[in-house]
A and B are shown apart, each in its own frame.
Chain A
């Protein structure tokens, strides 16, 4: 049972670690309705968990009185995920570096920075959205897109 085009699911979760699991389960249900393969669904679940965790931890300082909003927009070709947080920690990070695990193990690098790295490697598109200052939605918005159908023909043409 595939949904018709442009079905939208909107969640509002407390900004408290652990609630990202609700977004994780919800996105899995939506992705299954879109016939995503199970390994892709696992990727999406990890990506949304990390994005929501960042929104909770940094975007709203773990203040459970605040909310993180997750908007899942599904159509025949892709799943579009928008995560909004209050943005109390200021501007979101720019650029993602590969985590230096060796440096962390040697105690030369601070632990962390893996969430955004994982997201960028697990979804097709990911990044912070520039929010119009006149927009009612203040704060940070992080968008991820995952395509249901890989364009194999295009890949073959490129070879």
Chain B
């Protein structure tokens, strides 16, 4: 019943982008964590999670992201999130996830912000 998530990675000068297409639920845990661990092993320091606006994210999906926030703090990585609908931006603020990851409308905006911060 779940739309299997497709996870792909793009590398830019400023950051590594993990594109998420599909439901971010408990079924997505392995794919998301694998992508994150892989780019972390390659030394990624700025990581952008790029969501597709109309996809379904539930509390289990948010828990996966909190797990990544935990890892990212230990590795001193910066997390950014893009592509979220207004609804899920609200949800992420509600649970406090935005204390640990900056939200931007698009990947381009996130990369520009990193440029401006000199990260």
Cα distance, A34 to B97, chains bound together (Å): 32
Instruction: Please tell me if the beta carbons of B59 and A50 are within 8 angstroms of each other in the complex.
Output: yes
**What residues of chain B lie closer than 8 Å to A39, measured between beta carbons?**
86-87
Q: Would you give the 0/1 interface string for B74-102, flagging 1 where the beta carbon is closer than 8 Å to chain A?
A: 00000000000111000100111101100
Instruction: Please tell me if the beta carbons of A105 and B69 are within 8 angstroms of each other in the complex.
Output: yes
Q: Would you give the 0/1 interface string for B19-43, flagging 1 where the beta carbon is closer than 8 Å to chain A?
A: 0000101110000000000000000
**What residues of chain A lie closer than 8 Å to B58, measured between beta carbons?**
46, 49-50, 53, 115
**What residues of chain A lie closer than 8 Å to B94, measured between beta carbons?**
117-118, 121
- The main secondary structure of chain A at its interface with chain B is helix
The bracket for how many chain B residues form the interface is 20 to 34
Chain A: minimal CB distance from B63 (Å): 5
Which residue from chain B places its CB closest to the CB of A53 in the assembled complex? Answer: B58
Q: Say yes or no for B6: interface residue by CB 8 A criterion.
A: no
Most chain B beta carbons < 10 A, residue from A50, A114, A121 = A114
Which residue from chain A places its CB closest to the CB of B69 in the assembled complex? Answer: A105
Q: Say yes or no for A148: interface residue by CB 8 A criterion.
A: no
Q: Would you give the 0/1 interface string for A11-26, flagging 1 where the beta carbon is closer than 8 Å to chain B?
A: 0000011110110100
Tally of contacts, chain A with chain B, CB under 8 A: 69
Query: Which of B1, B2, B25, B67 is close to A111, meaning CB atoms less than 8 Å apart?
Result: B67
Q: Say yes or no for B62: interface residue by CB 8 A criterion.
A: yes
**Contact A49 to B56, CB < 8 A, known contacts A39-B87, A118-B94:** yes
Cα distance, A43 to B90, chains bound together (Å): 10
Q: Say yes or no for B114: interface residue by CB 8 A criterion.
A: no
Q: Say yes or no for A101: interface residue by CB 8 A criterion.
A: yes
**What residues of chain A lie closer than 8 Å to B66, measured between beta carbons?**
101, 104-105, 111
Instruction: Please tell me if the beta carbons of B67 and A17 are within 8 angstroms of each other in the complex.
Output: no
What are 16 inter-chain pairs, A to B, with CB distance below 8 A?
A16-B1, A17-B25, A18-B27, A21-B2, A21-B23, A39-B86, A42-B87, A49-B56, A53-B58, A101-B100, A104-B66, A105-B66, A114-B59, A114-B62, A117-B94, A121-B94
Q: Which residues of B contact A (CB under 8 A)?
A: 1-2, 23, 25-27, 56, 58-60, 62-63, 66-67, 69-70, 73, 85-87, 91, 94-97, 99-100
Beyond the given A46-B87, A117-B95, could you list 19 further A-B residue pairs with CB under 8 A, ordered by the A residue number?
A16-B1, A21-B56, A22-B1, A46-B91, A50-B59, A53-B59, A99-B96, A101-B66, A102-B99, A106-B70, A107-B70, A112-B59, A114-B63, A114-B95, A115-B58, A115-B59, A118-B59, A118-B94, A121-B94
